[in-house]
Amino acid sequence: MRTSVLSAFQIAVTLALTAWMITGFTRLPGRWMRWKMFCRATFSIITLTGTKDGRTEPVNVYDHLSPGSFILGLPQLQAIVDYLVRSGRYDRIDGHGRVLSASGEQRVEVTGSRVVL
C-alpha cells in the first residue's frame, strides 16, 4: 500500500515536471524551462561623459557591468546612469552610441542623464 502511494506520488510529480517542460516549447509566458542561451541580446556601444562641478571626465559604463558580460540593454544603462548621478559622483551624464538589438541598429543619446533612443 505504502509503495503504491509513493509510486503514485512519484508518477504525479514526474508528469507535472513533464507538463512544465512542455510549456517551454510554447509561447506561454514564463522564465523557467526556457533555455534561451545565445538566442537574443541587446548590445550597446556607448561613450559617456560625466560632469561634476563644471568639470567633465569620461565615464566607462562597462566598469559597472557584472563580470562575465558586456551585454548592455537600455534599462540597465539607465539604471547605471541614475546610480552615478544619485550617488553624487556626477551632476549629469551625457553621451552617445549605438544599440544593436532584435529591432536592428539604432543610435542612442544620453542627454542630461536620460537615455533616449
Chain residues that interact with other proteins, rule: CB under 8 A: 3, 7-8, 10-11, 14, 17-18, 21, 24-25, 32-41, 43, 45, 60, 62-64, 66-70, 76, 79-80, 82-83, 86-87, 100, 102, 104-105
Question: Rounded to whole angstroms, how far apart are CA atoms 45 and 93?
Answer: 16
Backbone torsions φ then ψ of 102, nearest 5 degrees: -60, -25
Closer residue to other proteins (CB): 54 or 67: 67
29 or 67: CB nearest other proteins: 67
> How far lies 42's CA from each of 20, 82, 104, 106, 113, in Å?
28, 19, 10, 11, 20
Cβ atoms 92, 85 nearer than 8 A: yes
Q: Residue 38 or residue 55: which is nearer to other proteins going by CB? A: 38
